């Protein structure tokens, strides 16, 4: 079954968020004379990740992530938390300029762009994501970019996917594939919207949840094969009269 519409997540699906996060965080910690050790970077990552998981579970609102992550981080390392909000602003400004692509991401988009409508659907902060998608080159392939702030719904809420499909003019949802790395947001959200889903599992993680994607892939080649299944003859004859 070939898919002619892809609703793609951005971070850790096309862009390496951990690499981007690390580079932006080092700049901020240096600015505030906090040692950018691997331990401190991992601590911040875990705090931030926990807050995003709480957002996906509906436990907190998005604006609290920016308020709490550096406050909690400073408290954990015994630093003065009075600059936490400023640190967060500086961090977001730094993150806007970081767009480390996952190896093969652009080649994958090049391979499928002629056969499918491509949309980016992300929970990331709009001002940050839009700039990162632009400088990474991903925006050049996107027929639409839908952030939770723009739509007014956060994955796994089905409305963010349905709003994207409505805006794109997609009516046949049997040919739509939701692709992402997060089971609790991307895959659960796609299932909530009644769409086929594909879990990007580049790190070979075990699925310990009750969320069951239709497909699991470990590289872009596997993903491309799922999307283009049945189109081999069309692709082989592309450009021939």
Q: Could you give the residue numbers annotated as active site?
A: 9
* Burial class, 155, CB count within 10 angstroms (exposed 0-12 / middle 13-18 / buried 19+): buried
Sheet with 144-147, strands from edge to edge, namely 144-147, 117-122, 5-8, 176-180, 196-200, 215-217
- Which has the closest alpha carbon to 131: 24, 22, 5, 30? 24
Q: Which two tokens stand for residue 93?
A: 């400004």
- Within 8 A by CB and 6+ apart from 195, the residues are 7, 161, 173, 176, 177, 178
Q: How far apart are CA 173 and CA 193, in angstroms?
A: 10
Q: Which uninterrupted H or E stretch holds 177?
A: strand 176-180
Q: How far apart are CA 123 and CA 63, in angstroms?
A: 12
Q: How far apart are CA 221 and CA 111, in angstroms?
A: 10
Tokens 């977001």 found at: 92
Q: Which two tokens stand for residue 159?
A: 């409305």
Q: How far apart are CA 197 and CA 105, in angstroms?
A: 18
């Amino acid at each position: 079954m070939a898919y002619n519409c892809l609703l793609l997540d951005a971070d850790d699906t096309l862009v390496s968020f951990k690499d981007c996060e690390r580079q932006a965080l080092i700049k901020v910690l240096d600015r505030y004379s906090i040692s950018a050790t691997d331990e401190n970077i991992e601590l911040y990552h875990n705090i931030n990740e926990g807050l995003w998981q709480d957002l996906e579970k509906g436990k907190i609102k998005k604006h609290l992530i920016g308020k709490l992550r550096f406050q909690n981080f400073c408290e954990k390392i015994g630093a003065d938390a009075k600059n936490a909000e400023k640190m967060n602003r500086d961090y977001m400004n730094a993150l806007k300029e970081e767009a480390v692509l996952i190896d093969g991401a652009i080649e994958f988009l090049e391979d499928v762009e002629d056969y499918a409508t491509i949309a980016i659907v992300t929970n990331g902060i709009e001002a940050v994501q839009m700039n990162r998608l632009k400088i990474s080159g991903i925006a050049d392939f996107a027929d639409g970019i839908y952030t939770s702030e723009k739509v007014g719904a956060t994955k796994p809420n089905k409305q963010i996917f349905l709003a994207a499909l409505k805006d794109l003019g997609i009516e046949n949802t049997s040919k739509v594939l939701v692709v992402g790395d997060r089971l609790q947001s991307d895959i659960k959200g796609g299932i909530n919207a009644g769409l086929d889903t594909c879990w990007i599992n580049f790190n070979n993680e075990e699925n310990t949840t009750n969320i069951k994607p239709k497909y699991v892939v470990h590289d872009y080649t596997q993903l491309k094969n799922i999307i283009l299944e049945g189109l081999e003859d069309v692709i082989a004859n592309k450009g021939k009269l």
